Amino acid sequence: MNYWLLRSEPDVYSIDDLKKEDVGMWEGCRNYTVRNFLRDRFKVGDLCFFYHSNIAPVGIIGIMEVVREAYPDPTQFDPKSEYYDPKADPANPRWLVVDVKFVKKFDKCVELSALKANPKLASMGVVMKGQRLSIMPVTDAEWTEVLRMTSED
DNA sequence: GCCAACGTTGGC
DNA sequence: GCCAACGTTGGC
């Protein structure tokens, strides 16, 4: 199984929104690298960090689990959606989603500044400059280390 | 709101 | 297939 980090702006979709729904569709990814992760590497049972971007505090706020593997993102065909893609072909969809289930919300956000300050996480995608993917793989070691940080004071 | 960095597009 | 221009992202 794999570990992932999924970014979302809480304005658009927050961990509290996911908690309310319990199972949510991770919609709106419009990047081919991310699409390929979803298509090729996301498996049921994979665990994901939920990362809040753009609004303070920026950082990892909880955990979710993949409960359904990749299928076509319905928003690409919906002209009313902000994710509508006029070039998307229903016979050969470009964009995919997975379903994720709420697992837990951390008592305290593991902030980006704390991630950056931890030398063990120096190679973690999210702390690296210019790394803008909304979905990134997380290594076993990084996963364990971030979890350890949630129990720090 | 700014800016750096990167992905995507389109002309050639 | 290259590459410049443009758009978008995300942290601050």
- Say how far apart CA A60 and CA A73 lie, in whole Å: 25
Using alpha carbons, list the distances in angstroms from residue A46 to A91, A130, A152: 28, 26, 25
109-138 of chain A touching strand C, CB 7 A cut-off: 112-113, 116, 126, 132-134
Share of chain A above pLDDT 70, in %: 99
* A151 inside domain: no
Mean pLDDT of A139-143: 96
CATH of the domain at A67: 3.10.590.10
Residue A152 CA and nucleotide C7 C1' are separated, in Å, by: 40
Which pLDDT value is given to residue A41?
Answer: 95
Q: Please state the domain count of chain A.
A: 1
Residue A153 has pLDDT above 80, yes or no: no
pLDDT in tens, A36-87: 999 999 999 999 999 999 888 999 999 999 999 999 999 999 888 888 888 8
Domain range for A125 is 3-146
Strands A135-138 and A3-8: antiparallel
- Beta-carbon contacts of residue A42 (< 8 Å; ≥ 6 apart): A2, A4, A66, A69, A70, A98
pLDDT in tens, A80-102: 888 888 888 888 889 999 999 99
- In angstroms and rounded to an integer, the radius of gyration of the C-alpha atoms of chain A is 15
